[in-house]
Each structure stands twice: as structure tokens, then as C-alpha cells.
Structure 1
Amino acid sequence: MSASKLEFGIEMELYLRPKHPGLENMMKSHGCLAKGNTREQDRKAFRMALTDILEPDIPTQCDVTGNYLKWTVADEDLDETEATHGYFPCEIVSRVLDSDGNWDEEIDNMFNALLHNYDLLLTRGCAMHVHVSPHNGTYTLSQLQSILKAALYYERALAVIMPAERKDTPWAEPNMRMIRNCEKNINKVPQTTWAPVFNEIDNCKFIPTLLAHVNCSKRQVSWNFSNVVNPCGTVEFRRPPGVKSAADAKHWAALTMGFVAEAMRQDWKAVRTTKTHPSTDTLRSVITRGARSLGSPVQAVLNPMLMADINMPATVLSVEERQKIKQKIEKKAKKHSVFVENVINSRPNTPVGHK
């Protein structure tokens, strides 16, 4: 039996460089590379030119306008290094998409246009984020409790299938670190079972109480619940790495939706008395079942190779790197992501599913 369909949006951080002189001329027509320009002015002109390239085939806007029916080319403060000279950092943000719609074709069309016109570069700081919400509705307390249980229960397995730079990053920390006593209780699972962890979640009888328990003051966590009660109404998965192909982007979107769909269907009473952490094989089965419940195209675009175990340690950041990331996080603390901003501004009094 198919699960209720979902709505979602993706945010992709990347660098782009024009492939031919005609694109540079288009950028210059928007004021790019003019004498005396700041880097910010050049980046703005680049985004305007990129929007012009995409708009004929893909409804696209430059920067946040509050239109959730268009894709967005937005600015993104990525780590620019010597290797990125000639490239422009940006964030490509989808419109609101339906899990049973032609979203896979939209992502294909976007990457076809990008790769035809631009060289694409990823750095360690690039990532992809996926926002998910119920179709034509909002999450119930029970659904949110189930997703949070899944986020905690499968954290260790999820870290194993992530590339080194996304196993443990300040941009998407494990949720257990944000919840009081949670990491301590999870470390005691072999002695005390999952019951103490799940009891804390079940004791939250209202959504605001649950969100306070999750500690939504910081959104740089693996599963971000901070947008649940605003008009966006999404849970955001921030763990995926940067992507440079449509196939990779579609996989991470499908993985997120499959995980969320199955989390909401899982019998958590059967898990609470266990004393072990699930294996990566179990996690892969969960994602696959959830994707299958949503039907095509979600189940069709999952890539088993991108769910394989990656048995290497997490990337170790230097003190300087961590300090830079901390400063960026503080700078973004009061801002919504681009996808969330578009949805909130376009529908200030309605949930994400209402169109």
C-alpha cells in the first residue's frame, strides 16, 4: 500500500564557471566584471545572467522573491580558495515539488542546462539540503515523534554511509548532541535499552514541547525541525554532500523522502526494548521500503552505491576551520534558508502543502 505522498524542496551549494565567451558577455551586460565592482556586485550580476540562461526552459528567479513555484539562483557564502578562482559560488534552490510528480525530470533539466553552459566545482564546504513535508497538510505530533526517534536510532548507521566530510560536520551535527542527556542515554543503550531515549520523546505531549526538547535554536543539525511550526512546515535533512549530477541530487532527495516515509510508519514500540544499534543493512532496507511506498519516481532513483558503507574516519577540521564555520553559523543564525524564505513569504498563513 502506498504511503501518503510528500512535498519537498532541495538546496544545492556549488561553484559555477561560464564555459564560453557568450556567457561572459551576458554577465557583463548585467554589470559583471565592471571596473571598481565589489565581489558581491559581480556575484549578483552572475546570478542574474544565470537566471536568464535557465528561465526559458525552467521557471527561475534571481534571489529570494517569495515565489515558491519557481527555482531560485541565490547567493551562498562558500569558502573561496585559490582553486575556486574564476568560479562563482551560488545556491540552486528548487520550487516546491511533489513526490509523485515529474520532479526527477525537473532536476534532469536543471543539470542539463547547468552542465551545458558551466563548469561545476564542489569544495568540501558544499552540501545539499532536502526539505520534506506532508502533502496538503502539516506534520502531526505522532509523525514528528517518529521522525525524531528514527533520527536518533539510525544516527550511527547513517554516519557510516556518509562521505568523510559529512560524517561529523558543524553544519549538520547529530541531533543527539542538541538534546539534554540524549547522547548519554544513547551510549547506555546496551545496558538500558532504547526506552529511556524514546520515553523522553513520548513525554512531549504537544508539538511545541517536542520542538523545545529537540532544541530548535540551532538549525545546523542532521535533521532540522526548526521550520515545523512556521508556514514552511518542513523537516530538513542537512547531511547530504554537495552534488555535481542530476543522478546524485535525485538520490539524496529520494533517500530523504524514503527515510521520512518509513520512519512515520515504523512500529517504534517493537524497538524500545532492544539493546542494539541498527546496522547499515537495516538502514538501507528502511530507506528502500520507504521509497517503494512512495512509488515512482522516488524508488527508481535510489542509488545503492551511494548507500554503501564508507569505512573511513570523519574529516578532522582544524581550529581555524572550525572558527570560520562558527562565525558563518552565527551570521546565519537569524536567517531562514532560501527554500524556507520563499515558502514563508509566498504563503504567510498556510502550510507548505496548500497550493
Structure 2
Amino acid sequence: MDDESSLQFGIEIELLLGSRKKAHPNWKSLAKDVSKRLFKAGIANHINDNNDKSADNYREWSIIQEVTIPSQPGKNLWGLELVSPVYHIQSYWAADLTTIFNTLHPSFNLVPSPHCSTHVHISGTPIPLDTAALAALAKCALYYEPALDLLVPPGRRGSTAYWCQSNRSSPALHPLTSTLDCLSLLDDAEATGSVRPVVEAMNLFPAASAYGRAHGKHKDFIRGKVYKWDFTGMLAGSRGTVEFRQPSGSVSGEEAAAWVTLAAAFVAGAMAVGPSLGGDVGEHGATAEELWAILVSGGEMLGWEGLGGVEGLFERAG
């Protein structure tokens, strides 16, 4: 990363929750309750009924209905997503996460669910990530995938989860027989000087898939929201972010902060490691020790003295 450049991020926290004291008749009633309590705790927020993605909705926390989480009205449980404003990585963002969960837990049951996940969007600031940076990150996402898999539940590894499939499943990468071939393809994509070939390599989706057939697709198309790493936000006219979609659901501020720290440190570390990643890579991908090393390096580049809760992720992975 350039000495003048740093990172900013946004986090999306999916929750299955219900009031401890009040039976809410519908999702909107629950959302109003959550919004009111967060506002009283000093967290500026609003309910985003239509999941509007305009810039104004990222100036403060927003609450949206998460349709991929099956609500259970009979158990007074509803699927909800908290979407953060844009935070600079050097700001006191972790304090907000702590406040949010400390506010929710006394009044709501937060139920761990395999349907919930945590997504982290990363972008460069004030200098956006360029094609070289994007290719470096893509190469590291592929090489370090086996080690990252160890930090998440089994249902969010490999291609077992529909909404966070391996990027190796992309039709551009799937036919390639080795990791080295995949990295070489990304080097070629970078050499074009355009972001789009990198995005296509990581986020193509098959026209022959059920989704493709249902939408009348006749050739493979870009669809990032089903992969562990979504690069589609880097296309022209998009938000300029890369989304790390693999983390599991968070039910505490510490968990959410750990995923932010992991994502940001990985992106920063990839800027240094990714460009030279190539001929001597092992075919089985990076070890946990190699992943820790790139995270420590990335944290140092961001000016951090440690990696906070990330160490706990490694300890739970054994």
C-alpha cells in the first residue's frame, strides 16, 4: 500500500433475534424497537425499508430486513441486518460495535444461526484500490483460502454454502487444474490494466446454473454475491469496495470486530505479498502459519500494535 493510502470499511451483521419482553407482530415492529434502543445508546441509525443502497444510507447505521434468514414468528424471532456507515480503519469503530451488542443483549435474544453471516466491505482511501491491488488481493484470496477456511464453521467452507462459494468455482477458474494456473490467469488479467478481467476471473457465474437458466442467461455472467470474495463492487459505477462474505454470524461486538480486523489486515497484507505470489506456491495453499504472517504484516502496515480478537479465531480453529 502507498504511504499516503489506507483503508476504510463497512460491515453488515445478520442477526436472528427477538424481544425478551414483547411479542412483536411483524418485522417492522421489531425493527422500530431495535432502532429506538440503539438511538438511546448513542448509535445514529434509521430503518431502510427498501434496502436502498444510495450513499445517504451509509452515513449512519441502517436496519434492513434480511430475507435469507428464515423468520420464526411463532418463536418471536425475526431476520434482521445491521448495516454500518463507512468507517476509516483508524477510527474508534470497535467501540460502536461493543455499544451495539451491549445494547441488544439485555433486551433481545440473539440466536446463533447458520443462516446468519457477517460481511465486511473494504476500500482504499483516499486512493481507491487499483487493478494491481485488486489482482494482488485476488491471488491471495485463492492461495490463502484453505487457511481462511479453518477459521469459519464447516458450512462456510469450500462450496458447501450457496452464498459463500469458493471463488475457484468461477467458470474462469474452475477449468484450471492448479493454483499456479489460477494465479497466472490473474497476472494476465492485471496486465490488461482493467479491473473487469480481474472481477470476471473471481466472480463469473455459470449460465447453466439454475439461477442462470431462470434469468435467461446464454453465457456466463458476473454475480459476486454467491462467492467468498465479491469483487463486483470495483466495476465502473459501483461503490469501489471488495466484500469478504465468508465470516459466520456475529453475536457479540468482539466477534464482529475480529472479522473486521481479519479482513482489513488481510487486504493490507495482500498488497505486499500478492504481486510476487507465483511460481513457488504450494499446490495445497497456505498454512495457518502463513496466514497469520500475512495478517501480522497487514496489521503493521495499518499501524496496529496487534490483531485483537483475530487470535481467538485461530485458537478456536485449533
Relative to the length of structure 2, the TM-score reads 0.82
Matched, 1:61 2:51: no
By how many angstroms is 1:219 displaced? 2.2
Mapped partners of 2:100, 2:92: distance in 1: 13
* Aligned partner of 1:44 among 9, 28, 31: 28
Mapped partners of 1:207, 1:134: distance in 2: 15
Identity of aligned residues (%): 24
Matched, 1:6 2:7: yes
Tell me, yes or no, if the aligned pair for 2:9 and 2:123 is still in contact at 8 Å: yes
Matched, 1:177 2:165: no
| Secondary structure of 2:234's aligned partner | coil
By how many angstroms is 1:89 displaced? 1.3
Tell me, yes or no, if the aligned pair for 2:117 and 2:247 is still in contact at 8 Å: yes
Residue of structure 2 equivalent to 1:103: 93
Tell me, yes or no, if the aligned pair for 2:261 and 2:310 is still in contact at 8 Å: no
Q: Which amino acid aligns with 1:115?
A: H
By how many angstroms is 1:158 displaced? 1.7
Question: How has the CA–CA distance of structure 1 residues 15 and 217 changed in structure 2, closer, same or farther, with 3 Å as cutoff?
Answer: closer
Tell me, yes or no, if the aligned pair for 1:193 and 1:275 is still in contact at 8 Å: no
Question: How has the CA–CA distance of structure 1 residues 119 and 6 changed in structure 2, closer, same or farther, with 3 Å as cutoff?
Answer: same
Residue of structure 2 equivalent to 1:220: 226
Compare relative contact order (CA 8 Å, sep 6+) and give the higher one, 1 or 2: 1
Structure 2 unaligned spans of 5+: 205-221
| Secondary structure of 1:90's aligned partner | strand
Deviations 1:282-338 (A, max 9, x none): 0111112212321348x3423313124748xxxxxxxxxxxxxxxxxxxxxxxxxxx
Residue of structure 2 equivalent to 1:210: 198
| Secondary structure of 1:301's aligned partner | coil
Structure 1 unaligned spans of 5+: 25-31, 34-41, 312-355
Q: Where do residues 318-329 of structure 1 align in structure 2 (5 Å cutoff)?
A: none
Mapped partners of 1:144, 1:49: distance in 2: 40
Residue of structure 2 equivalent to 1:141: 131
Mapped partners of 1:232, 1:259: distance in 2: 20
Tell me, yes or no, if the aligned pair for 2:118 and 2:245 is still in contact at 8 Å: yes
Question: How has the CA–CA distance of structure 1 residues 177 and 113 changed in structure 2, closer, same or farther, with 3 Å as cutoff?
Answer: same
* Aligned partner of 1:295 among 292, 299, 303: 303
Residue of structure 2 equivalent to 1:17: 18
Q: Which amino acid aligns with 1:51?
A: S
By how many angstroms is 1:118 displaced? 1.1
Tell me, yes or no, if the aligned pair for 2:138 and 2:186 is still in contact at 8 Å: no
| Secondary structure of 2:226's aligned partner | coil
Residue of structure 1 equivalent to 2:246: 239
Mapped partners of 1:179, 1:145: distance in 2: 17
Deviations 1:234-289 (A, max 9, x none): 000000000111001000000000000010122533x3111412212101111122
Mapped partners of 2:122, 2:243: distance in 1: 6
Mapped partners of 1:209, 1:2: distance in 2: 23
Residue of structure 1 equivalent to 2:292: 284
Mapped partners of 1:83, 1:278: distance in 2: 44
| Secondary structure of 1:122's aligned partner | coil
Mapped partners of 1:93, 1:243: distance in 2: 13
Residue of structure 1 equivalent to 2:111: 121
Tell me, yes or no, if the aligned pair for 1:195 and 1:273 is still in contact at 8 Å: no
| Secondary structure of 1:55's aligned partner | helix
Quote the RMSD (CA, aligned, Å): 2.5
Question: How has the CA–CA distance of structure 1 residues 115 and 213 changed in structure 2, closer, same or farther, with 3 Å as cutoff?
Answer: same
| Secondary structure of 1:133's aligned partner | strand
Question: How has the CA–CA distance of structure 1 residues 267 and 223 changed in structure 2, closer, same or farther, with 3 Å as cutoff?
Answer: closer
Tell me, yes or no, if the aligned pair for 1:166 and 1:239 is still in contact at 8 Å: yes
Aligned length: 288
